[in-house]
Amino acid sequence: MAKRKTKYICQECGYESPKWMGKCPGCHHWNTMVEELIELPNKTKRGFVTSGAGASSKPMSIQSIKGDREPRIDAKINELNRVLGGGIVPGSLVLVGGDPGIGKSTLLLETSYHLAKDNAKVLYVSGEESMKQTKLRAERLHIAAETLYIQAETDLELIEQAIEELQPVFIVVDSIQTMHHPAVTSAPGSVSQVRECTGQLMRIAKTKGIAIFIVGHVTKEGSIAGPRLLEHMVDAVLYFEGERHHSYRLLRAVKNRFGSTNELGVFEMKETGLEEVANPSEIFLEERAKGASGSTVVASLEGTRTLMVEIQALITPTSFGNPRRTANGIDHNRVSLLMAVLEKRVGLLLQNQDAYLNVAGGVRLDEPAIDLAIAISIASSFRDRPTKPSDVMIGEIGLTGEVRRVSRIEQRVHEAAKLGFTRVILPKKNIGGWAIPNGIQVIGIDTVGQALEHALEG
């Protein structure tokens, strides 16, 4: 008979303690320690379960190991293939997170449909909806395929039985927080249940070569609910982002063992489901106001894709002792640094000004090549002088006010030319060694001051 004891586990970070505490020492959240029953075997030697495909292997020289590329399954959704690194890898476990109602289930149901259309067996397991509810959603999305199977179940052992019978090539589990394993006595959604269920799904994926996508809830802070161990166990973590009041959705990878984490997928939510956005740059710039101060366009890289994005700034005199600095889609500390450079190196008196910055379209930019566009937006709004609507700004700014070179400048300029821009202001060190497209003027600058002289009208 197994021995039983209890311990307290933080539901936010997975910290374990033999006694209850009001504040978790791991994540410093209050009232997150929950008592869970633990069963220990009588044997003194405990077994460890690996997530690999069976028995342990002998050490091998790295040169004797074949470096064959992982085979891929075409998801028939180009934006999803891009984020995954070229397609779905058989035997992989992928975690998809996002806010409630953002479109996670819709995306995975559409992916299941595209695979089932090619006569591949697909199992969609829903722990939150009945079969009839899933069927109604499928009819709304015009989804119907003979090899797409739906199962409304939360017991992981029954799900394993269904997998043994069907032998699918693709499985969706929606969501991992609703699943429970009978061997674990804690409630569904607890740290122990999430950890055990994810471990079981990982073993199924690796031993049977089945690609499994699991949906994870997110907390109010935007991170995936449950312990961070959940993200470490899976092969890839995808976040589905977007404002609920806007129709555009962004899919990005924060972890990917089979590809890059810099790729971005763009979708538009419509009544008939999610549609891919083949050229998101046009979408992000279509509502740009002409002749407005504080608006600039930057060519930013997201993996292999170049995005033309509008950066907006609003500089107003402050009514408080400490001016406000608000940034949406840009690093707040980077904005403060650039404002300090403008004040010290260019002479803009910004210490008594409130600053509000925004990246149009809900995109988040975090590369240094957007520095010049941010600085020119701030100066444009402060001086109330608009920039030319046909200009693109590219460059990294140093603390001495110099504009430094950026990577893959040719790709950025070609994207600007394709969308009809006629002038690009970029670092002088980036000029040379590549062909400038026809119909576009390239201006090289060394300092922020020189950039402002060329960029601001009047």
Determine whether the annotation assigns residue 361 to a binding site. Answer: no
β-bridge partners, 221: none
In this predicted structure, the answer to whether residue 197 has a pLDDT above a threshold of 90 is yes
What's the token pair of residue 386? 């608009």
Judge if 72-278 and 283-455 fold alike in CATH terms. no
Q: What is the pLDDT of residue 43?
A: 45
Across 265-269, 333-337, 372-376, least confident range: 265-269
The DSSP bridge partners found for residue 95 are 214, 237
Asked whether residue 229 carries a pLDDT value surpassing 80, the answer given is no
pLDDT of residue 426: 96
Predicted confidence (pLDDT) at residue 42 exceeds the cutoff of 60 = no
pLDDT above 50 for 31: yes
Residue 103 among known ligand-binding residues: yes
| Residue 74 marked in a binding site | no
Q: Which two tokens stand for residue 306?
A: 């170049």
Quote the pLDDT of residue 222.
56
Residue 58 assigned to a binding site: no
Tokens read off for 191: 């740290």
Confidence of residue 48 (pLDDT cuts 50, 70, 90): very low
| Contact yes or no for 178/127 (Cβ under 8 A) | yes
**Residue in 105, 86, 87 with CA at minimum distance from that of residue 96:** 105
3-state helix, strand, coil in the chain (%, to 5): 30, 30, 45
What local confidence, expressed as pLDDT, does residue 14 receive? 75
Handedness of CA 367, 372, 375, 378 (dihedral sign): negative
Distance CA 147, CA 327 (A): 47
Average pLDDT score over residue span 389-414: 95
* Residues whose CB is less than 8 angstroms from the CB of residue 95 and which lie 6 or more positions away in sequence, other chains included: 176, 213, 214, 216, 224, 230, 231, 234, 236, 237, 238
Query: What integer pLDDT is reported at residue 309 of this predicted model?
Result: 94
The stretches of 32-103 forming alpha helices (DSSP H) are: 78-84
Q: Is 291 helix (H, G, I), strand (E, B) or coil?
A: coil
d(CA 231, CA 250): 19
Choice between 306 and 245, residue whose per-residue pLDDT is larger: 306
Task: Assign 51 a pLDDT band (cuts: 50, 70, 90).
Answer: very low
Half-sphere exposure of 374 (CA within 13 A, CB side): 34
Radius of gyration of the chain (CA): 26
Report the pLDDT value the prediction gives residue 457, as an integer from 0 to 100.
67
- CA dihedral sign, ordered 114, 120, 125, 130: positive
Residue 254: closest CA among 299, 212, 303, 209: 303
Given a cut of 50, is residue 49 above it in pLDDT?
A: no
With b for 16 or more beta-carbon neighbours within 10 A and e for fewer, the 341-362 pattern comes to: bbeebbebebeebbbbbbbbbb
- Establish whether 105 is an annotated binding residue: yes
Judge whether 267 and 276 are in contact, CB under 8 Å: yes
Dist. CA 345–CA 21, nearest whole Å: 52
How do strand 305-317 and strand 353-359 relate by DSSP bridges?
antiparallel
Residue 2's pLDDT is 52
Q: Which fold has domain 72-278?
A: Rossmann fold (3.40.50)
As a whole number of angstroms, the distance between CA 20 and CA 14 comes to 14
Q: Residue 159 annotated as binding?
A: no
CA 452 to CA 429: how far, in whole Å?
18
From the candidate CATH numbers 3.40.640.10, 3.40.50.720, 3.30.830.10, 3.30.230.10, the one assigned to the domain spanning 283-455: 3.30.230.10
pLDDT given at position 281? 87
What pLDDT shows up at residue 54?
Answer: 44
Distance CA 352, CA 167 (A): 66
Length of the chain: 458
Predicted local confidence at residue 46, as pLDDT: 37
Do the annotations mark residue 67 as ligand-binding?
Answer: no
User: Distance of CA 326 to CAs 243, 295, 312, Å?
Assistant: 18, 16, 12
State pLDDT tens for residues 99-153: 888 889 999 999 999 999 998 999 999 998 999 999 999 999 999 999 999 999 9
* Spatial separation of the C-alpha atoms in residues 324 and 317, rounded to whole Å: 10
Q: What is the pTM of this model?
A: 0.76
More confident residue, 316 or 57: 316
Look over the chain and give the mean of its residue pLDDT values, rounded to a whole number: 87
Single-letter amino acid, residue 59: P
Please, what is the end-to-end C-alpha distance for the chain in angstroms?
A: 85
Among 24-28, 40-44, 79-83, name the most confident range: 79-83
Domain residues of the chain, as ranges?
Answer: 3-40, 72-278, 283-455
Q: What is the mean pLDDT of residues 84-111?
A: 92
DSSP 251-278: EEEEEETTS-S--EEEEEEETTEEEE-S
**Stretch 236-241: mean pLDDT:** 91
CA distances to 27, 86, 118, 188 from 71, rounded to whole Å, are: 39, 10, 17, 34
Is the pLDDT at 37 greater than 90, yes or no?
Answer: no
- Position 429: which residue type? K
Residue 50 — pLDDT band, cuts 50, 70, 90?
Answer: very low
pLDDT tens per residue across span 411-457: 999 999 999 999 999 999 999 889 999 999 999 999 999 999 999 86
pLDDT of residue 228: 64
Cα–Cα distance, 311 to 288 (Å, whole number)? 10
| 99 assigned binding-site residue | yes
Who wins on pLDDT, 71 or 297? 297
Per-residue model confidence (pLDDT) at position 247: 82
Residue type, 145: A
Alpha helices by DSSP H, 313-391: 332-341, 371-383
